[in-house]
Structure 1
C-alpha cells in the first residue's frame, strides 16, 4: 500500500544581521525568517507597508520599520494578531555565544564539527561558551578584544586563504584568558581544523538556522523554498540539507529550492522585513538600547533559537 502524497508547503526565507564569517563584530544578533505566503498576498502586504510608512518606490528595507515613528506598522505586520499570524517564524542566534561555542567545539571536541550543527545542541560546547561569555564580561576591554579577535581569526577559514598553522599569537592570547584552550591537546585540535577545515563553514549561523526552518515547516508538508541569494547556499550544500531532512524524517523531502534577489520577489522581501524587525528588537535589548514599547515579536522566535539562557530568552518570549 502506497503512502498518500504529502502536500507541498511554499516558504520564503531571508536573514538579517549577516556577519560575513566574523562572529565577534558589532552585530550581536542574526535572525533568519521563514514565511508561508504566496506571491500575490506577499505583494499586497509589501504594498500596504509602503503605504503605511510612506516609502514611495525605493527598495523597502526593515530599517524603515525600525524607526520610532513606524514601529506601529511593524507591530501590525509581525504582531500575534497581524496578517502573518501562524505563518511566520524566526530563528534567532546570539552570534557571540554561537562563535564561542564553535571555538569550544574546535578546541575541545574529539571530532571536527560541521557547519550544519546548531552550536547550542552540543551541551559541553554550549556550557563552555556560557562560561567564556561570563569570563569575558569581567576582564579589561583590551583583553576581551584581543581574545575575541584571536578567536575570529582562528575560526574564519576560507578556501581562498586558509591558515595552515595555528596563529602565532593564539596560544598566548588563549592562555591569558582561558588556559584550557591553550593546552597542547587543544592546540593540536586547532591545527587539524586549520589544516583540514570542514566542508561547511562553522562561522555561518545561516546554515543551522535554515536546517531548522526546513525541519519546522516539513511537519506541515514538503518545503518548497525561495531564499534570498547567499553564496554559502551552494547546490551541494542544498543537497546536504535535503538529505539531512530525509534522514531525520523518512518520508519527508525538500520539494524545491530557488535562490532569488529579494528586490524582485515580494515573498522574500516580506521575509526580510520580518527578520529585520525581530533582529533589531532583540539586539536592542542585548545592547541595553531598548526604548519605549518594544515590537511584539516573542511569538515569532523559534524555541530552538540559541540565545543566552539568562534574561534574553525569557525577555524575548515575553514580547507577545
Structure 2
C-alpha cells in the first residue's frame, strides 16, 4: 500500500433524515472528487465565468437548466475537469429500506451490510422489493415499510419501543402471499428485539438502520482504494458521520480487505471548492436518476457511476 493517502472530497444529495419513503424524493447520491484545492478553485472559477450570474455556491438544478447545460457537459465530458477523477454512488431509498428489513431480520447486521462486502441476502431483498408491491399492492407495501422504519428509529429512545415492535409484527401477520414467503420474518421477533437493544447504544457494532450514507461511504472508499491506495475523505458536515461510526467503518474495511480509510475530515462545503464540485456531481446524478434528461447527459454521467448493491436497476434511468 502506498504511504501517502489520496485525499478525496465528498458530498451527498437527497439526504432526508429517516424519512426514506417519500415518493417525491426517492434517491440519494454520494459523490467523490479527487482534485487538489487549487485545481478545484480553477474549475469553480471557470464555472463562474460561464454562468449568467455568480451565486456563491452552484447547485445542480442551476446547471441542468437548458441555458446552463453546456457548463455541465463541459464538467462531465471526456477530457473535462472531472473525467477519471470523480465517482458517484446511487441509492434507491425504498430498496435500501427493504435491504435493511432483510439484513436486520434474517442476517447479522453489520457495517458491511448493504455493500459489496456482504451480498449474502441481496437476492432475497431484490425479490422482496420487486414482488412486494405486486403481491400486496403498492400503497400497502409502502405502509408496511413505513411501519418497519418506525420500529427501527431508536434515536432518543432509552428502552425498546415495544408498541412499535408489536405494530410491525401485527402488520406483517396481515401480509399473505404464495409468491413471497414472509414466514422467516414472522419468526424473527427475538432477533429484532436483540438488534433494537444493541441500537440503543450508539457505540454498538450494529449500524443505525436508516442511514444510507454509511454504506455509500464504504463503497466510495472501496472504489478509491481498489489499487491499494489509502484515502482520507474530506466530507461535508453530516450528523450521520459520528466518530464512532467512522471507526466502525474503518474496522470493517480493514477486516475484509486490509483497506485503509485513514480519516474522514468534515468541512463546510461553502469554504471548500472540492466539496462544492462533489455536491454538483451528486445533485446532477440524483436529478437525472429521478427525472432523466437528454440522452447525452445520461451518457456523460454513466462512466462516473460505481456499482452498488443498493441500486436495483441496470442503468441510471431505469427507475
Corresponding residue for residue 77 of structure 1: 75
CA–CA separation in structure 2 for the residues paired with 1:50 and 1:269: 13
How many aligned positions are there?
303
Match for 1:128 among 110, 124, 139?
A: 124
Alpha-carbon spacing, 1:291–1:240, altered in 2? closer, same or farther (3 Å)? closer
Where does residue 287 of structure 1 map in the other structure? none
- Alpha carbons of 1:315 and 1:186: their partners in 2 closer, same or farther (altered >3 Å)? same
Cross-structure match for 2:102: 104
TM-score for both structures, normalised by structure 2? 0.84
Task: Tell me: CA distance 1:142–1:305, structure 2 relative to 1, closer, same or farther (3 Å).
Answer: closer
Secondary structure of the residue that 1:47 maps to in structure 2?
helix
Hey, what's the Cα distance between the residues in 2 that align with 1:124 and 1:259?
32
The corresponding residue for 1:49 is 47
Q: SS in structure 1 opposite 2:280?
A: helix
Q: 1:268 aligns with which of 261, 275, 278?
A: 275
Cα RMSD (Å): 2.7
Q: TM-score, normalised by structure 1?
A: 0.83
Query: Structure 1 residue 283 and structure 2 residue 279: aligned?
Result: no
1:292 aligns with 2:294: yes
CA distance in structure 1 between the aligned counterparts of 2:137 and 2:168, rounded to whole angstroms: 18
Q: In the TM superposition, what is the alpha-carbon distance from 1:48 to its structure 2 partner?
A: 1.8
Alignment partners' CA distance in 2, 1:119 and 1:42: 29
| Cα distance in structure 2, aligned partners of 1:132 and 1:37 | 40
Partner of 1:301: 305
Give yes or no for contact 1:11–1:223 (8 Å, CA) kept in 2: yes
CA contact (8 A) 1:224 1:255 kept: yes
Deviations 1:195-214 (A, max 9, x none): 32254212112111112222
2: CA distance, partners of 1:162 / 1:29: 32
Q: Deviations over 1:81-129 (max 9, x none)?
A: 32111111111111211110110122222x3x02442256654532232
Secondary structure of the residue that 1:20 maps to in structure 2?
Answer: coil
**Distance between the aligned counterparts of 1:272 and 1:28, measured in 2?**
18
| 1:107/1:181 contact within 8 Å kept | no
Give the conservation status (yes or no) of the 8 Å contact 2:111–2:248: no
Q: 2:114 — aligned with what?
A: 118
Residues 132 and 162 of structure 1: CA distance in aligned 2, closer, same or farther (over 3 Å): farther
Distance of 2:229 and 2:118 partners within structure 1: 28
Structure 2 equivalent of residue 7 of structure 1: 4
How far did 1:315 drift?
Answer: 5.2
Is residue 147 from structure 1 mapped to residue 144 from structure 2 by the alignment?
A: yes
Give the corresponding residue for 2:196. 194
Answering whether residue 164 of structure 2 is matched by residue 156 of structure 1, we say no
SS of 1:14's equivalent?
A: strand
Q: Unpaired segments of 5 or more residues in structure 1? A: 285-289
SS in 1 for 2:220: helix
Q: Cα deviations across residues 265-288 of structure 1 (Å, max 9, x unaligned)?
A: 11111111111111111222xxxx
Q: Which moved more, 1:88-97 or 1:145-154?
A: 145-154
Relative distance call for 1:166 and 1:82 in structure 2 (3 A) is farther
**Is the 1:171–1:182 Cα contact (8 Å) retained in structure 2?**
no
Q: Which residue number in structure 1 is paired with residue 20 of structure 2?
A: 23
Call closer, same or farther: CA 1:166–1:181 in 2, change over 3 Å. Answer: farther
Kept in 2, the 8 Å contact 1:150–1:169? The answer is: yes
